[in-house]
Amino acid sequence: MQAAWRSGDAGRRVRDKHGMTSPATIAAANALEQGKALTPRYDANGLIAAVTTHAETGEVLMLAWMNAEALAKTLSTGEAHYFSRSRNELWHKGATSGQVQVIEEMRIDCDQDAVWLKVWPQGDGGACHTGQRSCFYRVIEGGKLAMRP
Please give the helix or strand (H or E) that residue 107 lies within, else none.
Answer: strand 101-108
Domain-located, residue 42: no
The CATH number linked to 55 is 3.10.20.810
* pTM of full prediction above 0.85: no
Domain-located, residue 72: yes
Question: Between 41 and 3, whose confidence is greater?
Answer: 41
Residue 106 domain boundaries: 48-140
Q: Are residues 69 and 6 in the same domain?
A: no
Number of domains comprising the chain: 2
Contact by Cβ (8 Å): 125, 101? no
Domain-located, residue 145: no
Q: Are residues 65 and 20 in the same domain?
A: no
Q: Are residues 54 and 33 in the same domain?
A: no
The predicted-structure confidence for 57-88, as pLDDT tens digits, reads as follows 999 999 999 999 999 999 999 999 999 999 99
Q: Output the average pLDDT for the chain.
A: 87
Residue type, 39: T
How would residue 16 be classed by pLDDT, with cut points 50, 70 and 90? Answer: low
Q: Are residues 52 and 77 in the same domain?
A: yes
